[in-house]
Amino acid sequence: MKKFTSISSIAMPLDRANIDTDAIIPKQFLKSIKRSGFGPNLFDEWRYLDHGEPGMDNSNRPINPDFVLNNSIYSKAQILLTRRNFGCGSSREHAPWALEDYGFRAIIAPSFADIFYNNCFKNGILPIELSSEIVDNLFSYSGQITINLKEQTVKTDDNSFEFEVDPERKRRLINGLDDIGLTLQNENQIRLFEAEYFVKYPWL
């Protein structure tokens, strides 16, 4: 997994609540059996004016000039700033895959949907929950933002905001650790658990 320590970038403001994973990456792109290549179809239905299908040459498609992602100011943004309950709906990990493939490494919102939040950490993306007031404040700010995971801070030119993150998730993200490898270090303990468990619940 990609490590995350700190990033400095402007934030792309996506001023909408309850953005669901269907909007982040529409279902037709879920037919892929690969983990990569979803970036050009991130927010496909909002981003292009035509209907997108897998395998299309996206560089020739008509873009929606009103959608913020198509504003060249934000073409290098690594931070996505948005409203509450981001990532609700389907459990598709294709959503963080698309965000990461496009170039986003952090998302700031007042709240996230549970499965999406969890999926981000598996893909080197840091989801940051900040209060609605702070998020409002950031929506009216257009400069560089520095996110430091070690310090758990989001810094603008004038302000510094602290954020919460589960210590274990933080450790794994900072070090880019492989979840499965770490769990398998407990192999013996899992075997011991199983031995007792199947005596207690023999029908399983």
Partner 1 sequence: MPQTLYDKLMSAHKVLEQDGSTLIYIDRQLIHEVTSPQAFEGLILAGRKIWRNKANLAVPDHNVPTTERSSGVSSITDPISRLQVETLDKNCESFDINEIQMNDIRQGIVHVIGPEQGATLPGMSIVCGDSHTTTHGALGALAFGIGTSEVEHVLATGCLWQNKAKNMKIEINGNLGVDVTAKDIALYVIGQIGTAGGTGFAIEFCGSTIRDMTIEGRMTLCNMSIEAGAKVGLVAVDDKTINYVEGRPFAPKGENWQSALKYWQTLHSDRESHFDESILIDATLISPQVTWGTSPEMVVDINGSTPDPKLEKDAIKADSIRTALEYIHLKPNTAMSSVTIDKVFIGSCTNSRIEDLRIAASVVKGKKIANNIKLALVVPGSGLVKKQAEEEGLDQIFKDAGFEWREPGCSMCLAMNADKLEAGERCASTSNRNFEGRQGQGSFTHLVSPAIAAASAIAGHFSGVIL
Rounded to 5°, the CA angle 17-23-24 comes to 95
Rg (CA), the chain: 19
Place of tokens 């769990």: 183
Cβ at position 69, least distance to partner 1 in Å: 16
Which two three-digit tokens encode residue 56?
């299309």
Nearer to partner 1, 85 or 152 (CB): 85
CB contact at 8 A, 149 and 4: yes
Indicate the burial class of 199 (C-beta count within 10 angstroms; 0-12, 13-18, 19 or more).
exposed
Q: Is 195 in the site for partner 1 (CB under 8 A)?
A: no
Q: Is 113 in the site for partner 1 (CB under 8 A)?
A: yes
Binds partner 1 (CB under 8 A): choice among 11, 80, 88, 126: 88
Q: Which amino acid is at 121?
A: F
Nearer to partner 1, 9 or 163 (CB): 163
CB contact at 8 A, 80 and 107: yes
Bridge partners of residue 13, in order along the sequence: 81
CB contact at 8 A, 58 and 125: no
Q: Is 39 in the site for partner 1 (CB under 8 A)?
A: no
Cβ at position 151, least distance to partner 1 in Å: 19
Q: Is 61 in the site for partner 1 (CB under 8 A)?
A: no
Stretch that binds partner 1, among 30-38, 63-71, 143-151, 154-162 (CB under 8 A): 30-38
Q: Is 92 in the site for partner 1 (CB under 8 A)?
A: yes
Q: Is 183 in the site for partner 1 (CB under 8 A)?
A: yes
Binding-site ranges for partner 1 (CB under 8 A): 16-18, 20, 22-23, 26-28, 30-35, 45, 51, 54-55, 83-85, 88-93, 96, 111, 113-115, 118-119, 122-123, 166-168, 179-180, 183-184, 186, 189-190, 193-194, 197, 201-204
